[in-house]
Structure 1
Amino acid sequence: MISNKSDSQTVSNQVSDSLSGSQPSFKPSLRLIDATMLVAGSMIGSGIFIVSADIVRQTGSAGWLMFVWFITGFMTLTAALSYGELSSMFPKAGGQYIYLKEAYNPLISFLYGWSFFTVIQTATIAAVGVAFAKFTAYLIPQVSEDMIMLDLGFLTISPAQLLSIIVIVLLTYINTRGVSNAKWVQTIITLAKILSLALLIIFGLWALKSEVWKANWLSGITWDLQRLNVDGSFEIYTTMAAFGAIAAAMVGSIFSSDSWHSVAFIAGEVKNPQRNVGLSLALGTILVTLLYMLTNIMYTGVLTLPEMAASEKDRVAVTASHVIFGGSGTVIIALMIMVSTFGCNNGLIMAGARVYYSMAKEGVFFKKVGTLNKNAVPEVALWLQAIIASLWCLSGKYGDLLDMISFVVVLFYMLTIAGIFILRKKKPDHPRPYKAFGYPVLPIIYILMGTTFCLLLIIYKPQYTWPGLLLTLAGIPVYYYIAKKQIIA
């Protein structure tokens, strides 16, 4: 059946499964530190090392560069604090999918799950995997993305694509062995990349050039919003175009700060989830936001704005590392990004499968996806996710789709946060061990900021909005087809 199961029936079925021993149940084995590292590790991938180059081109000043990161950090932290209430109300696997179902209806939650499976999570895993391979090529040129291993005419395959698939398969296998194995990989690697990013910041600030700092921060253009071209020339925006430039700049920062809610997807495996899920969301997003702000301050201390804007393939961190470390800078950054993307993908793979598991348990996805293996993890969901992510690796189109889906990601965040207001009306007596910080002011501010961001993208960057929106809406006939045929239950 699809969505016409009542909550009591669902609970009854879960209890029955548990009593009959027909299926293992999730094991709460993640501590607060593990949950926090999942949040931070899922956020820190390759974005912070790359996207600032485009943000500088869009805004043309150090002040506006920092403003874009500050606004993104504020939105992310506000959303995380708001999600704390929802996670304390529904401390089980599925996260945002469950919150949307409880606040709205099964169709809305399915559309989120559909988008999550077809692009949001799987294409992100692919993009992060390919980023790992690209920077591995700095150390091992034989895996370069510029080399062609196989040319089928309609499709070319590079060593970088194959390496990204190998990494995805390896991490998927580790996750099928149980959450305990995956959590140690996640915690250790995340601690390593936080430390390495912190050291990059420290060494970068130590190597700060006073003339560069003055040019970026003490000149008359510090707060001039204008387009900076690769050749160093500037273009003045009209008033309305300036708003569009800010929205376009935020596409990169929002992508870099996304996946902060990964821990909510595995709430059923977190110890004391009513407390630790919300707390880990707050701690993880605060930590990463602080690191991102400091990293960009460091960039503006060692590179002029034209140098940042003209960074080869937007790899601003590589350009900065040459200034900081000299000839060994490329190797250092390559190792950092390899560690960063490896840990990021582990968190994405671990969390994503729990959404498809929840969809299957609700009767809107393949039935076998809603089962756990002997290690109490959704193995079928993990491998299905790996297959789709691997196909995105081969397609070479994941980068475009990630830009397109940014609109949809923020749209679902807004719907979920608005769900807090709805649930306080629908379920006023439901236990809320934690209540959204700053309610109702901060959630309203987020919704207003998110709405502004989406509207500006629709007006000024339609290529980033309509494809993602249409892909999401394509899930509507799929939902009703499943409901009519009842082929998935």
Structure 2
Amino acid sequence: MNNELKKTLGLSAALSTVIGVVIGSGVFFKPQAIYTATNGGPGLGMIAWVIGGIITITAGLTAAEVSAAIPKTGGMMVYIEEIYGKKLGFLTGWMQTVLFFPGTIAALAVIFAKQILELLGYNPDANMIMVLVIAIVTILFIAFLNTVGSSLGGVIQTVATVGKLVPLIVIIIFGFIKGNGNPILQPLVGPGATVGGALGQVLIATLFAYDGWINVGALAGEMKDPGKDLPKAIVGGISIVMAVYIVINLAYLWVAPASELAAATAPAALVAERIFGNIGGKIVTVGILISVFGALNGYLLTGPRVAYTLAVKKTLPFSNGLAKLNKGGVPSNSIWLIAILASLYALTGQFNLLTDLTVFTIWIFYVLTFIGVIKLRKEKPDLERPYKVPLYPIIPAIAIIGGLFVIINQLLTATLIALGGIILTLIGIPVYSITSKNK
């Protein structure tokens, strides 16, 4: 029996995967958080999309070296375990299980619910009970779909890809044709805001929109020539995403000023309505909803696999139940665990708060992964590396510095959110001690 992955992926398949994985909900909703942070100043927001893209490219290029050198299933949790030991590896998986995946799912469900209410003509802020009900029902419904089997997930992802590309293309083309032009780079920030004070906040917003790049390294084992094609796929794919993000944000600003985008729950929907009128705006909004639904499905498809992996190792409480597969061959108990946690997070009714929490926490572990590349180079120089990060150590240094800036800035400017993420993560230490003893 041959368990090795078939090396069938070329550059074009890898490129399209990068683009498909990274473009999600952030590009449609995050301009609101960005222009709120800049007090309606457009310039810093546009610059943040470029800086966020550069940090993401260096992050992808750096983490891919670890992915290629440690071609095991499990992603970042496995890399960190190999580099730093079992306890830190467990903490990575724990953080993803109790915080990153459920928190991100909750954020997407909340914005999905708010968008549905706006589509139906209700004010979401005045109907928070309806927002919470729709968000939780959506989470539980997608969880149920994923317990049936994984084949349906693939169909949803295909539909969602079309769903997110159509509004992007339509807004870009018609935004420039029908928009009347607004300031794009001046002023950098609005009255009362400072560049130094707002930079961290706008970066954490753009990094949410760029998230997903960590999954790209997993392709290394299936690529015909990862040494040559993986860096091209990462740089090319994220550069295309960055170009799309910059162009669509220019289109947003061309149609509506930054001060109005800051006041809109869904800037993309506001812009679509300005361009196409009420009916056309609603049609584009449906496309955005399909995209968010697909992102929700993607996180509920992948997140429970982390919980399941930890349960198989018997490092989670109730591991016996969480490690069970149902008749469809899916870890249904792990899916329900993530769905229930996500439903609890959704009770906050917050999109930006939840995404700030998850991005801050996941970036701590991303930075550990980048440092791990340097650590592995020193400790295991003879390790087979099908792909090496170019311009070493400059690229890893940029990724580390960029990540540390975001982490430290959040600690200083959004201390409660940051501490919440750290505490939830550190709860994993006593959990690991207890489950290790029980084993």
TM-score after normalising by structure 1: 0.78
Unaligned runs of 5+ in 2: none
Residue 258 (1) aligns with residue 211 (2): yes
Alignment correspondent of 2:102: 122
Where 2:192 maps in the other structure, the secondary structure is: strand
Cα pair 1:193 1:340 within 8 Å, conserved: yes
Cα pair 2:103 2:358 within 8 Å, conserved: no
Equivalent residue runs for 1:352-391 within 5 Å: 352-365=303-316, 366-373=319-326, 375-391=328-344
Alignment correspondent of 2:424: 471
CA distance in 1, matches of 2:362, 2:330: 26
Larger Rg: 1
Alignment correspondent of 2:50: 70
CA distance in 2, matches of 1:421, 1:405: 25
Alignment correspondent of 1:248: 201
1:318–1:57 Cα change, 3 Å = same
Residue 200 (1) aligns with residue 171 (2): yes
**Identity level (%):** 32
Q: CA deviation at 1:415?
A: 0.6
Q: CA deviation at 1:480?
A: 1.4
> Partner letter of residue 345 of structure 1?
L
Alignment correspondent of 1:154: none
Alignment correspondent of 2:192: 235
CA distance in 1, matches of 2:312, 2:306: 10
Where 1:465 maps in the other structure, the secondary structure is: helix
Cα pair 1:94 1:264 within 8 Å, conserved: no
Alignment correspondent of 1:95: 75
Unaligned runs of 5+ in 1: 1-17, 20-24, 149-157, 229-233
Alignment correspondent of 2:27: 48
CA distance in 2, matches of 1:36, 1:169: 32
Alignment correspondent of 1:431: 384
CA distance in 2, matches of 1:175, 1:30: 27
More deviation, 393-402/474-483: 393-402
More deviation, 397-406/330-339: 397-406
1:263–1:373 Cα change, 3 Å = farther
What number of residue pairs does the alignment pair up?
433
Q: CA deviation at 1:263?
A: 5.4
Equivalent residue runs for 1:295-444 within 5 Å: 295-309=248-262, 311-313=263-265, 315-365=266-316, 366-373=319-326, 375-396=328-349, 400-444=353-397
1:63–1:340 Cα change, 3 Å = same
1:288–1:178 Cα change, 3 Å = farther
TM-score after normalising by structure 2: 0.86
Alignment correspondent of 2:146: 175
Cα deviation 1:430-455 (Å, max 9, x = unaligned): 32222223322111111012212222
Where 2:398 maps in the other structure, the secondary structure is: helix
Cα deviation 1:240-295 (Å, max 9, x = unaligned): xx323100222221222223324567x69x85598498776555533432221111
Q: CA deviation at 1:419?
A: 0.8
> Partner letter of residue 415 of structure 1?
L
Q: CA deviation at 1:73?
A: 1.0
> Partner letter of residue 165 of structure 2?
I
